[in-house]
Amino acid sequence: MKKSLLTLGLATLAMSSFAGERILYQQNFETAADPEAAGWTAYRGIISIVSDEYGKFLEVNQNGQNQGTTYGYWGPEIYLDKEGNSVLEDGTYKMHFEFQIKNSDCNQYNSEITVFTNHMPVTNQGYRTPWSPAGYWQNYLFDCSQLDNGTKDALQYVIDGGTVENDGSYSIDWADPNTLAANTWYLVDLDVNVNTREVEYNVQTITYEDVKSGSLTVPETNIADGSDISMYAEGLFLSLARTKTTYDIDNIKIYFDSEHDFANEPTVALTRLGKTEDDELELNLRAYTINFLDGETLHLIGTNGATEEVDWADCDGAYVYETTTSGTLTAWTTCGDAESEKVAVEVDCTPCKLPGVKAAISSVDPGFAKTYTLTVSNTEVPLQPTIFISYEFKGVNGETLSDEDLGSGAKVTVSEEGTLTLTASAFGYESTTVTVKNDTEFGLKKQYDFARMTEEEIMAAGFPEFAILNAESGGGFNSWTSRRYLYYRLEGSMTVNDNGDEVWTNVYPFGWVTNDNEDNVVKYTVINNIDKAGAAGSEEAAENAANVDNVKDEVFKGLTVFPKTGKNSPWKDPYAETEELKQVPHYGTPNVGMLYHVGLFNDQTINNDNTIIVHDLAASDIVVVNKISGYGGNVNHPVCATNEEYYEQIAGDDTIYSVAADGATNEETGEISLSFPLYRIDTALTYIKVYAPVGGDAVEAVEAVVAGDNYWYSIDGVRVAQPTRPGLYIHNGKKIIIK
What ranges in 78-181 are assigned the alpha helix state H? none
What pLDDT does residue 536 have? Answer: 45
CA separation for the pair 632, 480 (Å, rounded): 9
pLDDT of residue 157 exceeding 90, the answer is no
What pLDDT does residue 710 have? Answer: 53
What pLDDT does residue 705 have? Answer: 38
Q: Which of 246-255, 542-551, 722-731 has the lowest mean pLDDT?
A: 542-551
Mean pLDDT, rounded, for 162-191: 81
What pLDDT does residue 601 have? Answer: 82
**pLDDT band per the 50, 70, 90 thresholds, residue 4:** very low
**pLDDT band per the 50, 70, 90 thresholds, residue 60:** very high
Q: What are phi and psi of 510, to 5 degrees?
A: -90, -5
State which H helix or E strand residue 49 sits in.
strand 46-52
State which H helix or E strand residue 314 sits in.
helix 312-315
State which H helix or E strand residue 482 sits in.
helix 479-482
3-state class of 459 per DSSP?
Answer: helix
Asked whether 88 and 70 are in contact (CB, 8 A), the reply is: no
Rounded to 5°, angle at Cα 373 from 635 and 430: 140
State which H helix or E strand residue 24 sits in.
strand 21-27
Winning range, highest mean pLDDT, from 466-475, 490-499, 534-543: 490-499
- For residue 622, the one-letter residue type is I
Chain length of the chain: 739
CA separation for the pair 366, 714 (Å, rounded): 13
CA separation for the pair 314, 299 (Å, rounded): 13
Distance of CA 215 to the CA centre of its chain: 37
**pLDDT band per the 50, 70, 90 thresholds, residue 701:** very low
Winning range, highest mean pLDDT, from 70-74, 453-457, 587-591: 70-74
Minimal CA–CA distance to 254: which of 119, 115, 127? 115
C-beta neighbour count of 671 within 10 angstroms: 14
Asked whether 372 and 414 are in contact (CB, 8 A), the reply is: yes
The chain-wide mean pLDDT, for the chain, equals 82
pLDDT of residue 696 exceeding 80, the answer is no
Asked whether 188 and 202 are in contact (CB, 8 A), the reply is: yes
Winning range, highest mean pLDDT, from 336-345, 463-472, 694-703: 336-345
Asked whether 445 and 699 are in contact (CB, 8 A), the reply is: yes
Minimal CA–CA distance to 97: which of 177, 182, 13? 13
pLDDT of residue 354 exceeding 60, the answer is yes
Eight-state DSSP code of residue 329: E
Asked whether 445 and 702 are in contact (CB, 8 A), the reply is: yes
What ranges in 528-631 are assigned the alpha helix state H? 539-547, 579-582
What pLDDT does residue 589 have? Answer: 47
Helices (H) and strands (E) in the chain, counts: 8, 55
Mean pLDDT, rounded, for 264-277: 94
What pLDDT does residue 631 have? Answer: 65
Asked whether 500 and 494 are in contact (CB, 8 A), the reply is: no
pLDDT of residue 124 exceeding 80, the answer is yes
Q: Which of 141-145, 321-325, 500-504, 632-636 has the lowest mean pLDDT?
A: 632-636
Q: Which residues contact 501 (CB under 8 A, 6 or more apart)?
A: none
State which H helix or E strand residue 543 sits in.
helix 539-547
531-550 pLDDT, tens digit each: 444 444 455 555 555 444 44
Higher pLDDT, 562 or 96: 96
- For residue 139, the one-letter residue type is N
What pLDDT does residue 14 have? Answer: 38
State the greatest distance between any 2 C-alpha atoms of the chain, in Å, as a whole number. Answer: 102
**pLDDT band per the 50, 70, 90 thresholds, residue 651:** confident
Strand order in the sheet with 672-677: 559-561, 611-617, 672-677, 664-665
Asked whether 580 and 529 are in contact (CB, 8 A), the reply is: no
Q: CA quadruple 627, 633, 634, 636: dihedral positive or negative?
A: positive
Task: Quote the pTM value.
Answer: 0.73
- Give CA separation, 700 vs 189, 654, 693, 695, in Å: 69, 23, 11, 11
What pLDDT does residue 297 have? Answer: 96
For residue 570, cis peptide bond before it (omega within 30 degrees of 0): yes
CA atoms within 13 A on the CB side of 596: 23
Asked whether 596 and 686 are in contact (CB, 8 A), the reply is: no
CA separation for the pair 240, 276 (Å, rounded): 40
Higher pLDDT, 574 or 180: 180
CA separation for the pair 40, 27 (Å, rounded): 11
3-state class of 643 per DSSP?
Answer: helix
What pLDDT does residue 32 have? Answer: 86
